[in-house]
Amino acid sequence: MKNKVSKVKLARVESDLTQAQLAEKAGVTRQTIGLIEAGKFNPSLRLCLAIAKALDKTLDDLFWIEEEENDQ
């Protein structure tokens, strides 16, 4: 879960966006982006797609859980 969150954060930083800017693009509040990055909120598929689109990434890039992560 933590790794998944890091992927979103990494992609956001790579895109040179702040949480507020990403939140505006995805149509949610900044707090929600913060919680997703911290692994404290499970976004819906619709929101995952909005975030992926805003960061110009695929769902796999941002939210795919690797086998090792799953086992932990």
Partner 1 sequence: MINDERIRSSITKITSQVFVIWYVLLLASLLYRQFYLGQPLRQYWDIVVIFCIGTSYGTISMFARGAVYKNRITKCAKWSVPTLLVTNVAVAYFRGHIETIGDLIASIIGGAIGIALLGILLFFLYRRWERKIDVSE
Nearer to partner 1 by Cβ, of 1 and 69: the residue is: 1
| In the complex, least distance from residue 26 CB atom to partner 1, rounded to whole angstroms | 10
Interface residues with partner 1 (CB under 8 A) are: 27-29, 31-32, 35, 41, 43-44, 46-47
Q: How far is the CB of 34 from partner 1 (least distance, A)?
A: 10
Nearer residue to partner 1 within complex by CB, 42 or 66: 42
Backbone angles phi, psi at 29, to 5 degrees: -90, 160
Which one-letter DSSP state was computed for residue 64? P
Other Cβ atoms within 10 Å of 36 Cβ, number: 26
For the chain, the farthest-separated pair of C-alpha atoms sits apart, in whole angstroms, at: 34
